[in-house]
Amino acid sequence: MEYILECTNGKARAGVISTDHGKFLTPSFMPVGTQGTVKAILQRDIKEIGAEIILSNTYHLYLRPGTDILYQAGGLHKFMNWQLPILTDSGGYQVFSLTDLRKIEEEGVQFKSHLDGSTHMFTPEKVIDIQRMIGSDIMMVLDECPPFPATKEYAENSNNLSMRWAERCLNHFNKTKNAYEHSQALFGIVQGGIYPYIREHSASTLTQMNFDGYGIGGLAVGEPAEQMYEMIEVCTETLPTLKPRYLMGVGTPQNILEAIERGVDMFDCVLPTRNGRNAQFFTKFGVINITNNKYKNDFSPVDSSCDCYTCKNFTRAYIRHLFVAKEVLGLELATIHNLYYYQWLVHSARYQIIEENFSNWKKEQLQNLDGDVNRNS
């Protein structure tokens, strides 16, 4: 994997990341394909809306279909027929958020499957082995995601454990080979809760280990947005300039713009897909709920300035009807539009960074997002 920083505008960055499955431009937004599928959209259409990389989840793929099936298929790219880059998380976040019964110890974390209650253990070495079998282009280290709020003492001990796990992941990564013909990269993950000095320590410890890139984890877990932005700033100021930074699991369009301004390059989030399936449509002028009665006879597109397949071909009234009638096409049209909007957001941000106009453009976007949602109708 190679990262090239093309240009900066303030702290905002435009770059390009090359993998054996192709390049992607940054800032980049990765649609979430938890179970080896981005819900309610075809692989063909993910490409069509302009996504250049997707994210999938180690925890879910490990439990189902299991690494033996993925290995027999020749890896996740072949299994799901997606030939562009894939990033996988380490499974840590799901273990801490989805499973009730878990035991954290130095060796790793023991947990019970949310599917059938069976007992499993994730160690730093094991999550590398699993991600080797998945064959993702970018793998993540195992980390502990401390709950919010966490005391300073908890956050510090937890981060120290995550740093020891990161080093074990890196050692195992360096000792093991790719399972398939393409190469894989490994990112460390900065933790430290809402404590700047722990974040700084975490970022500088990982920098010394020299990863291919760096995730910023444990944010958007309930802390105020301003605190999240402050933590992002501490991280990006400490992390090396010539490596990509990935803000994990964040967020709203506003969060993404603020993070880009502070030097973040990569994002993933379930909001556009999950909220879309709940009738929430993201637009440049804020979110609309398409099931609202006022759209019953509104024969305009969801967003008249949007060039996506949904907006080019269907009206608010028709999409509202699909949701009210619980037709699956509604979910698909919402997913296409929302992912297209998120791609538009990061692609436009990149263009504005190159044009050295990011800050002005961002201000304008934030004003639009806070304004009257029906202005464009």
> Where along the sequence are the contacts to Zn ion (CB under 5 A)?
306, 308, 310-311, 337
The set of long-range contacts for 78-84, using a CB threshold of 8 Å and a minimum separation of 24, is 79/36, 80/33, 80/36, 80/37, 80/43, 81/43, 82/33, 82/43, 82/46, 82/54, 83/21, 83/22, 84/21, 84/22, 84/24, 84/47, 84/51, 84/52, 84/53, 84/54
Counting Cβ atoms within 10 Å, is residue 254 exposed (0-12), middle (13-18) or buried (19+)?
middle
CB nearer Zn ion, residue 16 or residue 317: 317
Residue 339 CB, nearest distance to Zn ion (Å)? 10
Residues 17/3, Cβ–Cβ less than 8 Å: yes
- Establish whether 303 is a catalytic residue: no
Which letter does DSSP use for residue 75 in this model? S
CB nearer Zn ion, residue 75 or residue 301: 301
Can you tell me the distance from the alpha carbon of 126 to that of 325, in angstroms, rounded to the nearest whole number? Answer: 45
Q: How many residues does the chain have?
A: 377
CB nearer Zn ion, residue 46 or residue 206: 46
In angstroms, what is the C-alpha Rg of the chain?
20
CB nearer Zn ion, residue 199 or residue 337: 337
Residue 306 CB, nearest distance to Zn ion (Å)? 3
Q: Strand 22-26 and strand 28-30: pairing?
A: unpaired
Residue 332 CB, nearest distance to Zn ion (Å)? 13
Q: Which of 89, 143, 212, 298 is catalytic?
A: 89
Can you tell me the distance from the alpha carbon of 329 to that of 88, in angstroms, rounded to the nearest whole number? Answer: 28
Which two tokens mark 372? Answer: 């009257």
Quote the distance between the C-alpha of residue 323 and its chain's center.
27
CB nearer Zn ion, residue 255 or residue 310: 310
Q: Which of 212, 265, 268, 298 is catalytic?
A: 268
Residue 283 CB, nearest distance to Zn ion (Å)? 8
Residue 298 CB, nearest distance to Zn ion (Å)? 15
- Establish whether 370 is a catalytic residue: no
Give the catalytic positions in this structure. Answer: 89, 268
